[in-house]
Structure 1
């Protein structure tokens, strides 16, 4: 028996050895001569992933879900790992498509092996999109009677028949939470929130139940560490104790206090843990700014030449928030001293009264003028609108060329309205994306009320900026002015109209377009117009080039000829705003050389 077993095992062993030898020979014969790899070997090839059958943004989202995508451009690991991750990727792609409403997708894959690259290729059929069927949104608590919640629910995207988008579903939930927080529903919560997907019917039922509870009310507002009187601080408030709570009003309060320039730090906080009778007290902590501010600056402008600016501000004179501002500007063309005493209005964030004094001495191209001016102003802000009433008394000594100096005095009431609306590029807040500015100013005087002669003038200006594409913008500017006077010769230069210069008609010198006297000195006109069309192109994020043409003039009659210029320029979007360097040629005076213009400031 033992001998039989030994013979049997010997026969089996020889047979198995022969089988292995034969199998190995067949494998060597069948294997490609150029490239062969077993499942336990590694490869020098790189891994790639391809997804076919999906458009954007589905393709990108599917790729981001793939675990195997992390190995792209890496050397292929073991064959077993690649096959495992590739197989796992089918379910990952299906999961990635579900947020877009594709719950019945079909995904297959294959691995294409070459000596240099292994490509995992997925073929995807997203299938039919799932749509909303029943959308049940229920509000409980005070929100069911709140008009803002009603408006929100009228405009949401979860409508029957529309494609299921998880992003829209989450956005609505977030909007309900945010609105509840903004309007003082501090205890709001979802009592039910789910989506039931009927895969075989490609339908989805949504259930949302939002219990806002009751809305909180404003309690007392407590100011801490303020050097300004509570009487003034309370005028910053847009709410009273007992009114419905609003986070927006608290944010506006913080911005208004910070913008007042009284404080270096402002913190506005509702004290939820001290709520009593559904009223939440508001804590406002203030840190004073430096009381005095000194300014000194050097600059250059092609209209003014080199200039020096020195200023002193008293941020608060007393606990009623009065302010004092003063500035002296010295340049090659004009020297100005200005002082202003400002008193906060009923709404100190938007209203201010000011008493002003100004002395300006200007001498340029045979034009000489010394202005002494006092004024009282009332400035109001209405959202985007600004309105200024002013009553000014001025005396001006002036002369043109070799003419003897003259003097005139006027009591001038004026009113100005301005409207500004703009949006900036997200990548750079110092450049206007789209926007416009409109302004109108009316002023006049009467010979029976401390004025040399009766006159009235109006000036309108507008500017529009529009982005045509990612690189191109168009900028259009226009202004027009007109005045009537019983005796035009009595008006000083500051009451007449001039044209030419950096902000008027480039290519011509500052205020050197207009009627002239017998010596050829520009004396200003009754009418003025200046317009510009400019195209600029972004060559880099902070650099632009521009082409422009300007047209305008100052005239005694409307039918006089306008002057035109054309040129090109470079813009640097600096941290303090656009810096513009322009080279312009006066087309109507070809004998004049090209003129350089340098300006700094916002687009509007």
Structure 2
């Protein structure tokens, strides 16, 4: 064997012997992790680039092999360029490098996005009946691309989708793009657009048919807020479905335009209805510091006859007050918004030396105007009442009243039980005259408001205030339900329910002619569904406006339960430091 052959075999042996070492130290480091960094872009550009990267599936994992990392790094340059094009960057320059350390390998991309592509020639035509539709004109004015604007694929496709969606919403069933081309000149960084949208004719509403209805046609037809022959609009159908579902008559509602049965450009509407259970029974247990332990028993008949009349009744028993209430409800001209009701109520209350038994019958006319509610009421009531050791007195009144309320709010997207921003305003006027079935002449007004504002992700501020005033020829003839009191969970915390106000000779609170109660509160979210609050309340019930107000301070905890916030508050009266801290427990919505 020659020396040259021996040398060759020795070299081959040494190479094979070293292969495991090379594989272990260079091809597949056992402990090194992979990281990715992209310099030169941020925001949406960076997010989209990372989505496009195939290499991202290995990020945070052990490096598989140098060859695979280099391959994916190389194709990643083109992937990043592709990811930037939808934002108008067609001439981006992307380079890469790999920093190999013992613990981590970092793949770094350096991006020079270059000049952005803008619209040059923009030719967008709208043909068909939609040319004279103000909704389309508004969309074109606010969303139509223009020369010099950055060419963004996402915004352009959104504009096209909005045209299609608006056409579908407003009854242009045959609408289509007869031309839609985009030419990008990468050397000049401009995009030329040619778009023709043919809406065709706008369809009209046909007849609306209700299937399997157990209620009479006159009632069901009053839910329909459009007429046959009017221009088609899916919002009207959505409103119809929401109103029928919210009426509580039906378990299931399906509203379907029958496009296949269109005649003379009119679309018939089919409404399929599945009845709800006719009778509903309710049992509820609860506790509140104003009422103590309580139990609620309810019975509702969702429809009494085919005209949709309803019967609702409830009995509420608590340590402080027992109430029985029954209501016969008649749908109005717009059954989803209007109603009339005949009501009967008996309430017996005994609390802190105050005793009252109220018998009341009333007629209500209720209207909803978007966010506004308006209630007219005519009530006749008799009240037997006593304060402390005083003898029981009786009073009777025929009381007309009117109430307006406005509520507007938005909820946190991640939790529908927390108000993000919102307010509530209410005004109530009532009175009676001694010539019309009343023991004395009186008039009163009560105004209330609450405002909630989220300062940032954790902090909210809540402001609340209410003011009441009345004038009466003979104040002593008014029962407790017609007088003003303060104190309690929703008034001035730190004082018991209705225990702020003028007192008689025995020290029993008898209520006043005026009332005010305000609150300033901030709460902080320290963990999901848990908040801590600091607050101060001020107010009183008085016989004269210039009497001193009572102030309290306190803190509390909020648990945002699936059925609404549960509040536990501890409050102390600053004007009476000798009194112990008072506990308040409430459950209910913020507004």
**How does the TM-score come out when normalised to structure 2?**
0.96
SS of structure 1 residue aligned to 2:143: coil
Give the Å deviation of 1:270. Answer: 0.7
Give the Å deviation of 1:584. Answer: 0.6
Give the Å deviation of 1:289. Answer: 0.6
Describe how 1:98-137 pairs up with structure 2 within 5 A.
Answer: 98-137=85-124
2:423 is the counterpart of 1:442: no
169-178 vs 86-95, greater mean Cα deviation: 169-178
Give the Å deviation of 1:143. Answer: 1.1
In the other structure, the counterpart of 1:4 is none
2:443 is the counterpart of 1:468: no
Does structure 2 conserve the Cα–Cα contact (< 8 Å) formed by 1:235 and 1:348?
yes
CA distance in 2, matches of 1:533, 1:101: 50
In the other structure, the counterpart of 1:160 is 147
Structure 1 369/198 Cα, relative in aligned 2: closer, same or farther at 3 Å? same
Does structure 2 conserve the Cα–Cα contact (< 8 Å) formed by 1:39 and 1:78?
no
In the other structure, the counterpart of 1:243 is 230
In the other structure, the counterpart of 1:195 is 182
Does structure 1 conserve the Cα–Cα contact (< 8 Å) formed by 2:366 and 2:376?
yes
In the other structure, the counterpart of 1:572 is 559
Describe how 1:64-463 pairs up with structure 2 within 5 A.
Answer: 64-156=51-143, 158-463=145-450
Q: Deviations over 1:108-166 (max 9, x none)?
A: 11222233333221111111222222222211111111100101111116233232222
CA distance in 2, matches of 1:409, 1:79: 94
SS of structure 2 residue aligned to 1:350: coil
Does structure 2 conserve the Cα–Cα contact (< 8 Å) formed by 1:39 and 1:79?
no
In the other structure, the counterpart of 1:6 is none
CA distance in 1, matches of 2:119, 2:214: 59
In the other structure, the counterpart of 1:511 is 498
In the other structure, the counterpart of 1:5 is none
In the other structure, the counterpart of 1:590 is 577
Does structure 1 conserve the Cα–Cα contact (< 8 Å) formed by 2:255 and 2:270?
yes
Give the Å deviation of 1:170. Answer: 1.5
CA distance in 2, matches of 1:238, 1:496: 43
Question: What is the RMSD of the two structures over their aligned residues, measured on CA atoms?
Answer: 2.2
Structure 1: tracts of 5 or more residues without a match: 1-9
Structure 1 96/197 Cα, relative in aligned 2: closer, same or farther at 3 Å? same
CA distance in 2, matches of 1:146, 1:18: 91
SS of structure 1 residue aligned to 2:239: helix
Does structure 1 conserve the Cα–Cα contact (< 8 Å) formed by 2:27 and 2:67?
no
In the other structure, the counterpart of 2:467 is 480
CA distance in 1, matches of 2:406, 2:181: 47
Does structure 2 conserve the Cα–Cα contact (< 8 Å) formed by 1:54 and 1:124?
yes
514-523 vs 202-211, greater mean Cα deviation: 202-211
SS of structure 1 residue aligned to 2:43: coil
Structure 2: tracts of 5 or more residues without a match: none
Does structure 1 conserve the Cα–Cα contact (< 8 Å) formed by 2:250 and 2:273?
yes
SS of structure 2 residue aligned to 1:150: helix
Does structure 1 conserve the Cα–Cα contact (< 8 Å) formed by 2:403 and 2:426?
yes
CA distance in 2, matches of 1:349, 1:41: 72
> Which residue of the other structure, out of 485, 508, 517, is the alignment partner of 1:498?
485
Does structure 2 conserve the Cα–Cα contact (< 8 Å) formed by 1:412 and 1:445?
yes
CA distance in 1, matches of 2:550, 2:370: 38
SS of structure 2 residue aligned to 1:155: helix
Does structure 2 conserve the Cα–Cα contact (< 8 Å) formed by 1:195 and 1:204?
yes
Give the Å deviation of 1:362. Answer: 0.7
Give the Å deviation of 1:197. Answer: 1.8
Give the Å deviation of 1:310. Answer: 0.6
Give the Å deviation of 1:239. Answer: 1.2
Does structure 1 conserve the Cα–Cα contact (< 8 Å) formed by 2:93 and 2:112?
yes
SS of structure 2 residue aligned to 1:583: strand
SS of structure 2 residue aligned to 1:93: helix
Does structure 1 conserve the Cα–Cα contact (< 8 Å) formed by 2:99 and 2:105?
yes
Give the Å deviation of 1:83. Answer: 1.8
SS of structure 1 residue aligned to 2:267: strand
CA distance in 2, matches of 1:118, 1:20: 37
Give the Å deviation of 1:18. Answer: 6.5
Give the Å deviation of 1:41. Answer: 4.4
In the other structure, the counterpart of 2:49 is 62
Give the Å deviation of 1:48. Answer: 2.1
SS of structure 2 residue aligned to 1:57: helix
CA distance in 2, matches of 1:524, 1:224: 56
Give the Å deviation of 1:69. Answer: 1.4
Give the Å deviation of 1:38. Answer: 9.5
2:540 is the counterpart of 1:553: yes
CA distance in 2, matches of 1:568, 1:207: 63
**What is the number of residues matched between the two proteins?**
589
CA distance in 1, matches of 2:326, 2:457: 44
Does structure 2 conserve the Cα–Cα contact (< 8 Å) formed by 1:39 and 1:80?
no
